[in-house]
Structure 1
Amino acid sequence: MTITRQDAWTQDEDLLLAEVVLRHIRDGGTQLSAFEEVGKALSRTAAACGFRWNSYVRKQYQAGIELAKKQRKELRQKIGIHSSGLPQHALTIEEKTSSDQAELTLREVIQFLEQLEKEPAGPAYLREELADAKHQLKSLTEENEHLKRQLKMTEEDYRALIGIVERVKQNISLKEYAK
Structure 2
Amino acid sequence: MTAIRQDAWSEEDDLILAEVTLRHIREGSTQLSAFEEVGEKIGRTAAACGFRWNSFVRKKYEAAIQIAKAQRQKRNQQRKQVPSFASVSNGVATVGISDHVSRGESLSEELSVDAVIRFLRQWKGSYQEMVRHIRHLEKELNEKQEELERLRGENEELGRQVSDVATDYRVVNDDYKALIQIMDRARKLAFLMEEEDEGKPKFKMDPNGNLERIE
Does the pair score TM above 0.5? no
Query: Which structure has the larger Rg over C-alpha atoms?
Result: 2
TM range (shorter): 0.3 to 0.5
State TM-score, norm by structure 2. Answer: 0.35
